[in-house]
Structure 1
């Protein structure tokens, strides 16, 4: 693979975003790391650079159109192209009974999880179309296929990510651009651990929780490998696909 390929990763400061950024850099991509958390984002960049990788960090709120336009502009100013967009930034809903979800919480989840993905695609697709090639991977969730108890709004946001992915995939199928969704489930990240802590410390616990049938949780690197594949030419006939990487949560 040519070493000039450029990948933009949102939510690059931690968890799946960090693991995938490192994996892409190891595989010769120049990476544009995007996150709201500057300190952790720069830590990801340091890890990449200490491994001999190449990249830049751009601070952004993915729900803010001007911020998204800016990270796309920074990527183009630095590297002149965008081959891969890993549209990964997202937040989890606080587990709660449906009617106790505040309107503010609803707006926050939708603006980051859905609008953030929409904006990333909106500003990157014209560049990829001009290049005549590109790959986009959107992070949905196992909850985008089969909702979990007490996170209905989160589940709705991730169902919508799948809808955006499939709709855009159809429009760009003949333009050399592949757009797929990855659906992680039960992955050990900071978000995941904070949820477990809430349950353990006497917070609201849903009346049912899905079993981890493999007897363990997934690791961020296990998602990174799948994203790397979807971004690459090895997945050349895949577009509009919804790939569950969840240890059978959605089965």
Structure 2
């Protein structure tokens, strides 16, 4: 029996024809992006070019927005995991585990805030940095894995394109980040935070695409 026709699938709560989990999963990235835009507007002292996103957690007017945006994005990934659990569980197990790890990574980054720029000087900052690294790499890998599923060609291309963009931006970010062997050569200190913001925006978009891909699989009745 396919996921599309199973009793559990038929009885799941729906809103305007879509499963409630899809609404919750899709709303998370929107809220996260809105929180990032708000933080930029409310804390102009945090430079788009030279101050990382984590510095919003230290500004009084944007601390709550930073926390909410991060936690809501984590919940979005978990709702996508819930949706994937009804689509060929054996085939999506690795993707679901990776998304759970990414969601936990986001929660850890919210709890253990980074040290203010320019550098990491505490164990809390180290925890934040490595948790963020898990998220930055895990979300595009999960997206690439999901793109191997039987999705519509257009959605698969968009998903893979977003993953490739994330991988490329991550490579650039690592190269220009202060402390990199080539950062000085590339004058990375002057714009590395902007690269990070573009990378995070792509990752947030990927979270939406993951929900869309999961919904497409559910509608296709993949078994």
TM-score (norm 2): 0.31
- The higher-RCO structure (CA 8 Å, 6+ apart) is 2
In terms of fraction of residues, the more strand-rich structure is 1
Q: Which has the higher helix share?
A: 2
Q: Which of the pair has more CA radius of gyration?
A: 2
